[in-house]
Amino acid sequence: MERDDDGVLNRLLPAQAERRPDDPWIHCDGKTWTFGAVAERVERFAAGWAEIGVGPGTRVALLLENSADYVFLVLALIRLGALHTPLNTAFRGSYLRGILATLRPEVLVVGDLFLDGALAALPGSGVNRLVTVGCDPASLTGVRELDGIGSTAAEQLAAAAGPAPSADVTPGAPASVFLTSGTTGRSKGVLLSHACWYAGIEVTSTGRDVRPDDVFYLCTPMFHAAAWTLNLWTSLRVGAPVVLDRWFSVEGFWPTVRRYGVTQVCTLGPMHHWLWSQARRADDDDNPARVWTAVPMPADLWLPFTERFGLQAVVSMYGQTEVMPATMGDACRPAKPGSSGRPQPGLELRIVDDAGAPLPTGETGEIVIRPRRPHAMFEGYLGDPGSGAGPDGWFHTGDLGRVDDDGDLFFVDRKADHIRRRGHNVSSAEIEAAVGSHPAVADVAAYAVAAAEAEDEVMITVVPRPGTPLDVAELLRFCADRLPPYALPRYVDTAAGLPRTATGKVEKYRLRERGVTPTTVDTGAGHHGP
Protein backbone atom coordinates (compact mmCIF):
# COMPACT_ATOMS: atom_id res chain seq x y z
CA MET A 1 0.00 0.00 0.00
CA GLU A 2 1.39 3.40 -0.97
CA ARG A 3 1.32 5.71 2.02
CA ASP A 4 2.23 9.19 3.12
CA ASP A 5 3.24 8.85 6.76
CA ASP A 6 4.07 12.43 7.60
CA GLY A 7 0.78 12.69 9.48
CA VAL A 8 -0.60 15.72 7.62
CA LEU A 9 -3.96 15.22 5.93
CA ASN A 10 -3.64 17.97 3.32
CA ARG A 11 -0.84 16.09 1.56
CA LEU A 12 -2.94 12.99 0.82
CA LEU A 13 -4.98 14.29 -2.12
CA PRO A 14 -2.06 15.86 -4.05
CA ALA A 15 -0.12 12.61 -3.66
CA GLN A 16 -2.95 10.49 -5.08
CA ALA A 17 -3.68 12.99 -7.85
CA GLU A 18 -0.05 12.71 -8.93
CA ARG A 19 0.08 8.90 -8.73
CA ARG A 20 -3.30 8.03 -10.23
CA PRO A 21 -4.97 11.15 -11.69
CA ASP A 22 -7.39 9.18 -13.88
CA ASP A 23 -8.43 6.56 -11.32
CA PRO A 24 -11.93 6.95 -9.85
CA TRP A 25 -12.22 8.05 -6.25
CA ILE A 26 -15.78 9.26 -5.53
CA HIS A 27 -18.98 7.81 -6.95
CA CYS A 28 -21.92 10.04 -5.96
CA ASP A 29 -25.32 10.88 -7.47
CA GLY A 30 -24.54 8.95 -10.63
CA LYS A 31 -21.29 10.83 -11.25
CA THR A 32 -17.71 9.63 -10.87
CA TRP A 33 -14.87 11.91 -9.78
CA THR A 34 -11.27 10.89 -10.41
CA PHE A 35 -8.45 11.81 -8.04
CA GLY A 36 -7.22 14.35 -10.56
CA ALA A 37 -10.66 15.94 -11.01
CA VAL A 38 -11.18 16.14 -7.25
CA ALA A 39 -7.77 17.78 -6.78
CA GLU A 40 -8.61 20.43 -9.39
CA ARG A 41 -11.99 21.23 -7.83
CA VAL A 42 -10.55 21.30 -4.32
CA GLU A 43 -7.84 23.73 -5.43
CA ARG A 44 -10.49 26.04 -6.88
CA PHE A 45 -12.56 25.83 -3.71
CA ALA A 46 -9.47 26.58 -1.63
CA ALA A 47 -8.73 29.66 -3.75
CA GLY A 48 -12.37 30.74 -3.33
CA TRP A 49 -12.20 30.23 0.42
CA ALA A 50 -9.05 32.35 0.56
CA GLU A 51 -10.72 35.15 -1.41
CA ILE A 52 -13.42 35.51 1.27
CA GLY A 53 -10.85 35.54 4.08
CA VAL A 54 -10.70 31.90 5.15
CA GLY A 55 -7.22 30.80 6.18
CA PRO A 56 -5.26 29.01 8.91
CA GLY A 57 -7.36 28.60 12.06
CA THR A 58 -10.60 29.99 10.57
CA ARG A 59 -13.60 28.10 11.96
CA VAL A 60 -16.09 26.94 9.36
CA ALA A 61 -19.23 25.00 10.30
CA LEU A 62 -21.11 22.86 7.76
CA LEU A 63 -24.83 22.04 7.88
CA LEU A 64 -25.21 19.75 4.87
CA GLU A 65 -26.43 16.34 3.84
CA ASN A 66 -23.88 13.94 2.36
CA SER A 67 -22.60 15.02 -1.06
CA ALA A 68 -19.46 15.19 -3.16
CA ASP A 69 -19.31 18.97 -2.62
CA TYR A 70 -19.25 18.31 1.14
CA VAL A 71 -15.99 16.40 0.59
CA PHE A 72 -14.53 19.06 -1.72
CA LEU A 73 -15.36 21.93 0.63
CA VAL A 74 -13.79 20.15 3.63
CA LEU A 75 -10.67 19.13 1.72
CA ALA A 76 -10.27 22.74 0.59
CA LEU A 77 -10.46 23.88 4.22
CA ILE A 78 -7.89 21.24 5.19
CA ARG A 79 -5.72 22.51 2.32
CA LEU A 80 -5.73 26.01 3.88
CA GLY A 81 -5.18 24.92 7.48
CA ALA A 82 -8.69 26.03 8.48
CA LEU A 83 -10.86 24.21 11.04
CA HIS A 84 -14.05 22.53 9.84
CA THR A 85 -16.97 21.53 12.04
CA PRO A 86 -19.64 19.26 10.53
CA LEU A 87 -23.00 19.89 12.24
CA ASN A 88 -25.68 17.33 12.95
CA THR A 89 -28.46 17.97 10.43
CA ALA A 90 -31.03 17.39 13.16
CA PHE A 91 -29.91 20.59 14.93
CA ARG A 92 -32.49 23.35 14.67
CA GLY A 93 -34.11 26.21 16.52
CA SER A 94 -32.72 27.23 19.87
CA TYR A 95 -30.50 24.14 19.99
CA LEU A 96 -28.73 25.11 16.76
CA ARG A 97 -28.44 28.68 18.01
CA GLY A 98 -26.79 27.40 21.20
CA ILE A 99 -24.37 25.20 19.26
CA LEU A 100 -23.32 28.10 17.05
CA ALA A 101 -22.90 30.34 20.10
CA THR A 102 -20.58 27.70 21.59
CA LEU A 103 -18.57 27.05 18.42
CA ARG A 104 -18.45 30.70 17.27
CA PRO A 105 -17.71 29.82 13.62
CA GLU A 106 -16.87 32.69 11.33
CA VAL A 107 -18.52 30.97 8.35
CA LEU A 108 -21.51 28.64 8.10
CA VAL A 109 -21.98 26.43 5.04
CA VAL A 110 -25.62 25.44 4.64
CA GLY A 111 -27.55 23.29 2.17
CA ASP A 112 -30.97 24.10 0.78
CA LEU A 113 -32.78 21.67 3.09
CA PHE A 114 -31.51 23.49 6.17
CA LEU A 115 -31.45 27.12 5.05
CA ASP A 116 -34.60 28.30 6.84
CA GLY A 117 -33.50 26.81 10.16
CA ALA A 118 -30.02 28.28 9.77
CA LEU A 119 -31.36 31.79 9.07
CA ALA A 120 -33.42 31.69 12.25
CA ALA A 121 -30.35 30.69 14.29
CA LEU A 122 -27.83 33.16 12.84
CA PRO A 123 -28.56 36.39 14.77
CA GLY A 124 -26.08 36.68 17.64
CA SER A 125 -24.20 33.54 16.57
CA GLY A 126 -20.95 35.26 15.58
CA VAL A 127 -21.22 33.99 11.98
CA ASN A 128 -20.23 36.74 9.56
CA ARG A 129 -20.66 34.88 6.27
CA LEU A 130 -23.01 32.25 4.90
CA VAL A 131 -21.94 29.90 2.09
CA THR A 132 -24.92 28.24 0.41
CA VAL A 133 -24.94 24.90 -1.40
CA GLY A 134 -27.67 24.09 -3.92
CA CYS A 135 -29.94 26.93 -2.81
CA ASP A 136 -32.44 28.62 -5.13
CA PRO A 137 -31.44 32.31 -5.40
CA ALA A 138 -35.05 33.24 -4.61
CA SER A 139 -34.68 31.57 -1.21
CA LEU A 140 -31.79 33.84 -0.24
CA THR A 141 -34.00 36.86 0.48
CA GLY A 142 -33.76 36.08 4.17
CA VAL A 143 -29.95 36.14 3.97
CA ARG A 144 -29.92 39.62 2.49
CA GLU A 145 -32.06 40.84 5.36
CA LEU A 146 -29.48 39.79 7.98
CA ASP A 147 -27.36 42.76 8.99
CA GLY A 148 -23.63 42.25 8.79
CA ILE A 149 -23.72 38.75 7.30
CA GLY A 150 -22.44 38.25 3.77
CA SER A 151 -23.55 35.49 1.44
CA THR A 152 -21.63 33.47 -1.14
CA ALA A 153 -22.77 30.50 -3.22
CA ALA A 154 -20.46 27.49 -3.21
CA GLU A 155 -20.24 27.63 -6.98
CA GLN A 156 -18.86 31.15 -6.68
CA LEU A 157 -16.03 29.74 -4.56
CA ALA A 158 -15.40 27.04 -7.16
CA ALA A 159 -15.12 29.69 -9.87
CA ALA A 160 -11.99 31.19 -8.31
CA ALA A 161 -8.94 31.19 -10.57
CA GLY A 162 -6.37 30.29 -7.92
CA PRO A 163 -3.85 29.18 -7.01
CA ALA A 164 -4.68 28.92 -3.33
CA PRO A 165 -2.08 30.10 -0.81
CA SER A 166 0.09 27.46 0.79
CA ALA A 167 -0.35 26.49 4.44
CA ASP A 168 2.37 25.30 6.79
CA VAL A 169 0.57 22.53 8.71
CA THR A 170 2.16 20.24 11.30
CA PRO A 171 0.84 16.84 12.47
CA GLY A 172 -0.18 18.29 15.84
CA ALA A 173 -2.13 21.19 14.35
CA PRO A 174 -5.92 21.07 14.75
CA ALA A 175 -7.73 19.94 11.61
CA SER A 176 -11.32 19.91 12.81
CA VAL A 177 -13.77 20.37 15.62
CA PHE A 178 -16.22 17.47 15.79
CA LEU A 179 -19.20 17.48 18.11
CA THR A 180 -19.96 14.78 20.63
CA SER A 181 -23.20 12.88 19.96
CA GLY A 182 -25.23 14.70 22.61
CA THR A 183 -27.05 11.62 23.91
CA THR A 184 -26.65 12.76 27.52
CA GLY A 185 -26.77 16.52 27.10
CA ARG A 186 -25.50 19.35 24.93
CA SER A 187 -22.80 18.47 22.41
CA LYS A 188 -19.22 19.62 23.02
CA GLY A 189 -16.65 20.62 20.42
CA VAL A 190 -13.77 18.14 20.27
CA LEU A 191 -10.43 19.41 18.91
CA LEU A 192 -8.90 16.81 16.57
CA SER A 193 -5.41 17.13 15.10
CA HIS A 194 -4.06 15.81 11.81
CA ALA A 195 -2.05 13.22 13.76
CA CYS A 196 -5.16 12.06 15.64
CA TRP A 197 -6.98 11.40 12.34
CA TYR A 198 -3.90 9.58 11.05
CA ALA A 199 -3.84 7.31 14.10
CA GLY A 200 -7.44 6.34 13.39
CA ILE A 201 -6.73 5.72 9.71
CA GLU A 202 -3.78 3.45 10.55
CA VAL A 203 -5.53 1.25 13.08
CA THR A 204 -8.79 0.88 11.14
CA SER A 205 -6.92 0.10 7.91
CA THR A 206 -4.98 -2.69 9.61
CA GLY A 207 -7.95 -4.04 11.53
CA ARG A 208 -10.19 -4.14 8.45
CA ASP A 209 -7.51 -5.75 6.26
CA VAL A 210 -7.77 -2.81 3.85
CA ARG A 211 -6.34 -3.46 0.38
CA PRO A 212 -5.67 -1.18 -2.62
CA ASP A 213 -8.36 -2.98 -4.65
CA ASP A 214 -11.08 -2.41 -2.03
CA VAL A 215 -14.19 -0.35 -2.72
CA PHE A 216 -15.67 1.56 0.24
CA TYR A 217 -19.30 2.46 0.91
CA LEU A 218 -20.21 5.61 2.84
CA CYS A 219 -23.88 5.76 3.85
CA THR A 220 -23.45 7.12 7.39
CA PRO A 221 -23.80 10.86 8.10
CA MET A 222 -20.71 12.89 7.27
CA PHE A 223 -21.06 14.90 10.46
CA HIS A 224 -20.07 11.66 12.23
CA ALA A 225 -16.35 10.93 12.59
CA ALA A 226 -16.77 7.32 11.37
CA ALA A 227 -17.66 8.53 7.87
CA TRP A 228 -14.21 10.11 7.62
CA THR A 229 -12.08 7.64 9.58
CA LEU A 230 -13.54 4.48 8.05
CA ASN A 231 -14.29 5.66 4.54
CA LEU A 232 -13.11 9.02 3.20
CA TRP A 233 -9.66 9.38 4.76
CA THR A 234 -8.89 5.66 4.49
CA SER A 235 -9.94 5.38 0.83
CA LEU A 236 -7.96 8.53 0.02
CA ARG A 237 -4.85 7.22 1.70
CA VAL A 238 -5.10 3.84 -0.03
CA GLY A 239 -6.11 5.29 -3.40
CA ALA A 240 -9.33 3.25 -3.61
CA PRO A 241 -12.85 4.24 -4.72
CA VAL A 242 -15.59 5.21 -2.28
CA VAL A 243 -19.31 5.16 -3.03
CA LEU A 244 -21.02 8.08 -1.31
CA ASP A 245 -24.78 8.00 -0.64
CA ARG A 246 -26.78 10.90 0.76
CA TRP A 247 -28.31 8.63 3.40
CA PHE A 248 -28.71 5.00 4.41
CA SER A 249 -31.50 3.09 2.69
CA VAL A 250 -32.49 -0.49 3.51
CA GLU A 251 -33.99 -0.90 0.04
CA GLY A 252 -31.05 0.65 -1.78
CA PHE A 253 -28.23 -0.86 0.24
CA TRP A 254 -27.63 -4.17 -1.50
CA PRO A 255 -28.25 -2.90 -5.05
CA THR A 256 -25.57 -0.25 -4.44
CA VAL A 257 -23.11 -2.77 -2.97
CA ARG A 258 -23.56 -5.07 -5.97
CA ARG A 259 -23.54 -2.31 -8.59
CA TYR A 260 -20.22 -0.83 -7.50
CA GLY A 261 -18.53 -3.98 -6.21
CA VAL A 262 -18.31 -2.69 -2.64
CA THR A 263 -15.93 -4.74 -0.48
CA GLN A 264 -15.64 -2.62 2.69
CA VAL A 265 -18.91 -1.87 4.50
CA CYS A 266 -19.49 0.19 7.66
CA THR A 267 -22.79 0.45 9.54
CA LEU A 268 -23.59 2.14 12.83
CA GLY A 269 -26.23 1.67 15.52
CA PRO A 270 -29.34 -0.09 14.21
CA MET A 271 -28.38 -0.08 10.51
CA HIS A 272 -27.11 -3.67 10.33
CA HIS A 273 -30.06 -4.83 12.46
CA TRP A 274 -32.44 -3.35 9.90
CA LEU A 275 -30.64 -5.19 7.11
CA TRP A 276 -30.58 -8.44 9.07
CA SER A 277 -34.33 -8.24 9.74
CA GLN A 278 -35.19 -8.19 6.03
CA ALA A 279 -36.65 -11.36 4.53
CA ARG A 280 -33.97 -13.89 3.65
CA ARG A 281 -33.07 -14.37 0.00
CA ALA A 282 -31.33 -17.26 -1.71
CA ASP A 283 -28.65 -14.88 -3.00
CA ASP A 284 -27.91 -13.12 0.32
CA ASP A 285 -24.32 -14.37 0.19
CA ASP A 286 -23.88 -13.56 -3.50
CA ASN A 287 -22.37 -10.12 -3.08
CA PRO A 288 -18.89 -8.54 -3.23
CA ALA A 289 -18.79 -7.39 0.43
CA ARG A 290 -15.68 -8.75 2.16
CA VAL A 291 -15.23 -7.02 5.54
CA TRP A 292 -18.12 -5.50 7.48
CA THR A 293 -17.41 -3.03 10.29
CA ALA A 294 -20.49 -3.04 12.52
CA VAL A 295 -20.59 -0.75 15.56
CA PRO A 296 -21.84 -2.35 17.73
CA MET A 297 -22.58 -5.94 16.66
CA PRO A 298 -24.32 -8.17 19.26
CA ALA A 299 -22.37 -11.32 20.01
CA ASP A 300 -25.23 -13.69 19.15
CA LEU A 301 -25.66 -12.09 15.70
CA TRP A 302 -21.97 -12.00 14.80
CA LEU A 303 -21.40 -15.44 13.22
CA PRO A 304 -24.90 -15.80 11.69
CA PHE A 305 -24.45 -12.38 10.07
CA THR A 306 -21.04 -13.36 8.70
CA GLU A 307 -22.39 -16.61 7.25
CA ARG A 308 -25.62 -15.21 5.82
CA PHE A 309 -23.90 -12.48 3.83
CA GLY A 310 -20.84 -14.53 2.85
CA LEU A 311 -18.27 -12.27 4.50
CA GLN A 312 -14.59 -12.78 5.19
CA ALA A 313 -15.11 -11.15 8.57
CA VAL A 314 -17.25 -8.95 10.75
CA VAL A 315 -15.22 -6.58 12.92
CA SER A 316 -16.23 -4.04 15.51
CA MET A 317 -14.51 -1.24 17.34
CA TYR A 318 -14.88 0.98 20.38
CA GLY A 319 -14.38 4.70 20.40
CA GLN A 320 -15.77 8.11 21.07
CA THR A 321 -15.42 11.39 19.21
CA GLU A 322 -12.47 12.08 21.51
CA VAL A 323 -10.72 8.80 20.59
CA MET A 324 -11.19 7.47 17.04
CA PRO A 325 -11.07 4.57 17.72
CA ALA A 326 -9.74 3.44 21.06
CA THR A 327 -9.86 -0.24 20.08
CA MET A 328 -10.26 -2.07 16.78
CA GLY A 329 -11.00 -5.66 15.82
CA ASP A 330 -8.89 -7.66 13.38
CA ALA A 331 -10.41 -9.19 10.26
CA CYS A 332 -7.43 -11.55 9.95
CA ARG A 333 -7.84 -13.13 13.39
CA PRO A 334 -10.44 -15.78 14.26
CA ALA A 335 -13.77 -14.18 15.08
CA LYS A 336 -14.42 -13.31 18.71
CA PRO A 337 -18.14 -12.39 18.87
CA GLY A 338 -18.86 -9.36 21.03
CA SER A 339 -15.28 -8.10 21.05
CA SER A 340 -14.47 -4.49 20.25
CA GLY A 341 -10.85 -5.45 19.54
CA ARG A 342 -7.60 -4.32 21.11
CA PRO A 343 -6.25 -0.83 21.88
CA GLN A 344 -4.52 1.03 19.07
CA PRO A 345 -0.72 1.21 19.53
CA GLY A 346 -0.72 4.88 20.50
CA LEU A 347 -3.10 4.40 23.43
CA GLU A 348 -3.13 2.76 26.84
CA LEU A 349 -6.47 1.43 28.10
CA ARG A 350 -7.50 0.34 31.58
CA ILE A 351 -10.61 -0.84 33.37
CA VAL A 352 -11.01 0.89 36.74
CA ASP A 353 -13.41 0.97 39.66
CA ASP A 354 -15.26 4.05 40.93
CA ALA A 355 -12.15 5.14 42.84
CA GLY A 356 -9.96 4.90 39.71
CA ALA A 357 -8.11 1.76 40.83
CA PRO A 358 -7.30 -0.80 38.09
CA LEU A 359 -9.51 -3.90 38.08
CA PRO A 360 -8.38 -7.48 37.34
CA THR A 361 -8.85 -9.07 33.94
CA GLY A 362 -12.46 -10.02 33.30
CA GLU A 363 -14.04 -7.60 35.79
CA THR A 364 -16.38 -4.84 34.65
CA GLY A 365 -15.52 -1.22 35.32
CA GLU A 366 -15.10 2.15 33.64
CA ILE A 367 -12.97 2.36 30.48
CA VAL A 368 -10.21 4.95 30.86
CA ILE A 369 -7.65 5.88 28.19
CA ARG A 370 -4.45 7.89 27.89
CA PRO A 371 -2.06 8.49 24.98
CA ARG A 372 1.29 6.75 24.66
CA ARG A 373 2.45 9.34 22.12
CA PRO A 374 1.58 12.96 21.37
CA HIS A 375 -1.68 13.70 19.52
CA ALA A 376 -2.88 10.07 19.60
CA MET A 377 -6.26 11.31 20.83
CA PHE A 378 -8.11 14.63 21.01
CA GLU A 379 -6.46 17.88 22.07
CA GLY A 380 -9.25 18.89 24.46
CA TYR A 381 -12.55 20.68 24.05
CA LEU A 382 -13.11 23.90 22.18
CA GLY A 383 -12.68 26.81 24.54
CA ASP A 384 -10.63 24.67 26.90
CA PRO A 385 -7.63 23.19 25.01
CA GLY A 386 -5.81 20.56 27.00
CA SER A 387 -8.97 19.56 28.84
CA GLY A 388 -10.29 16.01 28.78
CA ALA A 389 -7.94 14.06 31.03
CA GLY A 390 -8.97 13.73 34.65
CA PRO A 391 -6.80 14.69 37.60
CA ASP A 392 -5.27 11.21 37.43
CA GLY A 393 -4.08 11.82 33.85
CA TRP A 394 -6.59 9.44 32.27
CA PHE A 395 -9.54 10.30 30.04
CA HIS A 396 -12.64 8.88 31.70
CA THR A 397 -15.01 7.71 28.97
CA GLY A 398 -18.12 7.21 31.09
CA ASP A 399 -18.44 3.75 29.51
CA LEU A 400 -18.26 0.36 31.17
CA GLY A 401 -16.34 -2.60 29.79
CA ARG A 402 -14.13 -5.56 30.57
CA VAL A 403 -10.90 -6.90 29.05
CA ASP A 404 -10.20 -10.61 28.51
CA ASP A 405 -6.92 -12.52 28.76
CA ASP A 406 -6.04 -11.66 25.14
CA GLY A 407 -6.43 -7.93 25.77
CA ASP A 408 -9.70 -7.67 23.84
CA LEU A 409 -12.22 -5.12 25.07
CA PHE A 410 -15.87 -6.01 25.56
CA PHE A 411 -18.12 -2.99 25.81
CA VAL A 412 -20.81 -3.43 28.49
CA ASP A 413 -22.84 -0.22 28.66
CA ARG A 414 -22.82 3.51 29.11
CA LYS A 415 -22.17 4.10 32.80
CA ALA A 416 -25.22 6.38 32.91
CA ASP A 417 -27.35 3.63 31.32
CA HIS A 418 -26.18 0.81 33.58
CA ILE A 419 -28.91 -0.40 35.91
CA ARG A 420 -28.43 -1.34 39.56
CA ARG A 421 -31.27 -3.57 40.68
CA ARG A 422 -31.48 -5.23 44.09
CA GLY A 423 -27.72 -5.53 44.39
CA HIS A 424 -27.23 -6.74 40.81
CA ASN A 425 -25.52 -4.86 37.98
CA VAL A 426 -27.69 -5.09 34.87
CA SER A 427 -26.53 -4.17 31.37
CA SER A 428 -29.15 -2.37 29.32
CA ALA A 429 -27.36 -3.64 26.20
CA GLU A 430 -27.88 -7.27 27.25
CA ILE A 431 -31.57 -6.65 27.93
CA GLU A 432 -31.94 -4.99 24.54
CA ALA A 433 -30.21 -7.92 22.82
CA ALA A 434 -32.62 -10.39 24.44
CA VAL A 435 -35.80 -8.38 23.83
CA GLY A 436 -34.67 -7.41 20.32
CA SER A 437 -34.38 -11.06 19.29
CA HIS A 438 -38.17 -11.50 19.67
CA PRO A 439 -39.75 -11.76 16.19
CA ALA A 440 -42.41 -9.12 17.02
CA VAL A 441 -39.84 -6.48 18.10
CA ALA A 442 -38.42 -4.02 15.57
CA ASP A 443 -36.53 -1.84 18.05
CA VAL A 444 -36.07 -1.56 21.82
CA ALA A 445 -34.42 0.57 24.49
CA ALA A 446 -33.85 -0.53 28.08
CA TYR A 447 -33.24 1.92 30.92
CA ALA A 448 -33.65 2.43 34.64
CA VAL A 449 -36.54 4.21 36.30
CA ALA A 450 -36.84 5.04 39.97
CA ALA A 451 -39.26 3.02 42.07
CA ALA A 452 -40.34 3.35 45.67
CA GLU A 453 -39.57 -0.30 46.41
CA ALA A 454 -36.05 -0.45 44.99
CA GLU A 455 -33.01 1.48 43.85
CA ASP A 456 -33.86 0.95 40.16
CA GLU A 457 -36.49 -0.81 38.14
CA VAL A 458 -35.99 -1.99 34.58
CA MET A 459 -38.15 -0.36 31.93
CA ILE A 460 -38.20 -0.97 28.20
CA THR A 461 -39.76 0.91 25.32
CA VAL A 462 -40.54 -1.43 22.45
CA VAL A 463 -41.25 -0.58 18.82
CA PRO A 464 -43.38 -3.46 17.47
CA ARG A 465 -42.66 -4.83 14.02
CA PRO A 466 -45.28 -3.56 11.54
CA GLY A 467 -48.16 -5.97 11.11
CA THR A 468 -47.01 -8.15 14.02
CA PRO A 469 -49.04 -7.99 17.25
CA LEU A 470 -47.04 -7.69 20.47
CA ASP A 471 -48.24 -9.66 23.49
CA VAL A 472 -46.43 -8.27 26.56
CA ALA A 473 -47.02 -11.39 28.67
CA GLU A 474 -45.65 -13.60 25.91
CA LEU A 475 -42.67 -11.25 25.46
CA LEU A 476 -41.88 -11.58 29.17
CA ARG A 477 -41.99 -15.39 28.96
CA PHE A 478 -39.67 -15.19 25.95
CA CYS A 479 -37.22 -13.02 27.90
CA ALA A 480 -37.36 -15.27 30.96
CA ASP A 481 -35.51 -17.94 28.94
CA ARG A 482 -32.80 -15.47 28.03
CA LEU A 483 -32.31 -13.21 31.06
CA PRO A 484 -31.83 -13.72 34.80
CA PRO A 485 -34.90 -12.84 36.90
CA TYR A 486 -33.43 -9.56 38.17
CA ALA A 487 -32.90 -8.34 34.57
CA LEU A 488 -36.48 -8.93 33.42
CA PRO A 489 -38.24 -5.66 32.57
CA ARG A 490 -40.90 -4.66 35.07
CA TYR A 491 -42.30 -1.81 32.95
CA VAL A 492 -43.06 -2.07 29.23
CA ASP A 493 -44.01 0.82 26.96
CA THR A 494 -44.71 0.61 23.25
CA ALA A 495 -44.00 3.38 20.76
CA ALA A 496 -43.97 4.02 17.03
CA GLY A 497 -40.25 4.85 17.24
CA LEU A 498 -37.41 5.66 19.61
CA PRO A 499 -35.87 9.11 20.02
CA ARG A 500 -32.51 8.88 18.30
CA THR A 501 -29.69 11.18 17.32
CA ALA A 502 -28.98 11.42 13.60
CA THR A 503 -26.21 8.81 14.07
CA GLY A 504 -28.69 6.29 15.43
CA LYS A 505 -27.94 6.50 19.16
CA VAL A 506 -31.00 6.31 21.39
CA GLU A 507 -31.55 9.40 23.52
CA LYS A 508 -32.34 7.44 26.66
CA TYR A 509 -32.39 10.53 28.83
CA ARG A 510 -35.63 11.48 27.07
CA LEU A 511 -37.15 8.10 27.88
CA ARG A 512 -35.99 8.29 31.50
CA GLU A 513 -37.45 11.77 31.84
CA ARG A 514 -40.80 10.51 30.59
CA GLY A 515 -40.67 7.49 32.91
CA VAL A 516 -43.73 5.42 33.79
CA THR A 517 -46.90 6.72 32.16
CA PRO A 518 -50.59 5.74 32.38
CA THR A 519 -50.13 3.57 29.27
CA THR A 520 -47.13 1.69 30.68
CA VAL A 521 -47.69 -2.00 31.42
CA ASP A 522 -46.46 -3.09 34.86
CA THR A 523 -45.51 -6.73 34.41
CA GLY A 524 -44.55 -7.17 38.05
CA ALA A 525 -41.33 -8.88 36.93
CA GLY A 526 -38.70 -8.85 39.64
CA HIS A 527 -41.06 -7.02 41.98
CA HIS A 528 -40.57 -9.73 44.58
CA GLY A 529 -37.44 -11.74 45.07
CA PRO A 530 -33.92 -11.29 43.63
Higher-scoring residue by pLDDT: 366, 182: 366
Q: Which residues contact 137 (CB under 8 A, 6 or more apart)?
A: none
Pick from 20-29, 352-361, 413-422, 470-479: least confident? 413-422
Distance CA 270, CA 503 (A): 9
Query: Going along 404-453, which residue ranges are E strands?
Result: 409-414, 419-421, 424-426, 441-451
Through-space distance between the first and last CA atoms of the chain, rounded to whole angstroms:
56
Supply the pLDDT for residue 1: 41
Res. 187: pLDDT tops 80: no
Query: What average pLDDT does this structure show over 374-396?
Result: 81
Distance CA 261, CA 83 (A): 34
Closest CA to 392 of 328, 348, 360, 327: 348
Supply the pLDDT for residue 441: 93
Distance CA 530, CA 488 (A): 11
Supply the pLDDT for residue 452: 54
Query: What average pLDDT does this structure show over 457-480?
Result: 91
Supply the pLDDT for residue 455: 65
Give 79-89 pLDDT, tens digit per residue: 999 999 999 88
Res. 410: pLDDT tops 50: yes
Domains in the chain, please, with CATH? 29-169 (3.40.50.980), 189-414 (3.40.50.12780), 419-522 (3.30.300.30)
Supply the pLDDT for residue 143: 67
CA atoms in the 13 A half-sphere facing the CB of 513:
7
Supply the pLDDT for residue 528: 45
State the pLDDT confidence band at 202, using cuts at 50, 70 and 90.
very high
Could you give the C-alpha distances from 395 to 174, 347, 350, 353, 442, in angstroms and in order? 19, 11, 10, 14, 35
State the pLDDT confidence band at 77, using cuts at 50, 70 and 90.
very high
Query: What average pLDDT does this structure show over 12-18?
Result: 96
Supply the pLDDT for residue 206: 96
Average model confidence (pLDDT) across the chain = 89
